[in-house]
Amino acid sequence: MEVVFGVHSVAEAVRVRPGEVDHVTVLTGPPNPRVAALLEECRASRVRVAHAGRDELSRMTRTENHGGAAAFLRERRALVLEDLLQPSGPNKRFLLALDGVEDPHNLGALLRTADGAGVDGVIVPERRSAPLSGTVAKASAGATEHVRVARVTNLVRALEELKRQNIWIVGLDERGTADYDQFDLSGDVALVLGREGAGLHDLVRKSCDFLLRIPMLGAVPSLNVSVAGAVVMFEAARQRRHAVAPVSSGAEPAAKTSKPRKGLGS
């Protein structure tokens, strides 16, 4: 059974998939306004509600950081790469691939940003990646209920399949040669982010068609992966909103620089 905790995450689970919620448990005692709104949502969706003390709720969720509410759901069907490649309308595809993000708070923050920036789906490897746990759901403020996440056995092979689908693979790396805001991100693009501290694995880096960087003006050479991802995802969202004309499928994304570039690993 899947356990989601935190008022925002529980409320989103009740709104999005009430039929899969076995029950919701909240702290015993007078509810605060947010919990009261959650209880009203449960009543409207005919979701059963139980009450428990703080220690019992901590035991159920295996954390003291449960926010006073937890939902117990049937586990959802795991998505695969092909699910993310299904046409989602006339817009160009925008995917996010995560190369070994193991901190659940970073993963949750990235999923929250992906939802806000209009990402069509997120690809994570089965190994060396944080699982979609209650901690991730809480850190995402409920975005896990809206973002499609597919787990793949081999991330490099998944990226090669994206290339066959005419999706450009763009990695974010401090050794990149093009600034992120000088690159055309309005076409069919998969943004690849690396693990905390070490960045992209060598094989994943070589699989990228282009490597972008975020210019840093201070002494610290890089940003936290969730912050860096947010910067680039919302730049892509800005470009995609203001694109004058769509980029034809398979056309090379143009950098806003006269310097010619060669695709990496293509």
d(CA 219, CA 234): 24
SS3 153: coil
| pLDDT at res. 253 | 57
Predicted confidence (pLDDT) per residue in 143-163, tens digit: 999 999 999 999 999 999 999
In the prediction, which pLDDT does 249 show?
A: 41
Report how far residue 230's alpha carbon sits from residue 11's, in angstroms, rounded to the nearest whole number: 24
- Kindly report the pTM of this predicted structure: 0.84
Distance separating alpha carbons of residues 195 and 222, to the nearest angstrom: 12
| Domains of the chain with bracketed CATH | 2-73 (3.30.1330.30), 81-241 (3.40.1280.10)
CA distance 74 to 217: 47
pLDDT of res. 264:
39
CA separation for the pair 135, 184 (Å, rounded): 34
Contact of 114 with 147, CB cutoff 8 Å: yes
Per-residue pLDDT, 199: 87
Q: Which of helix, strand or coil describes residue 119?
A: coil
Residue ranges for the chain with pLDDT beneath 70: 87-89, 244-266
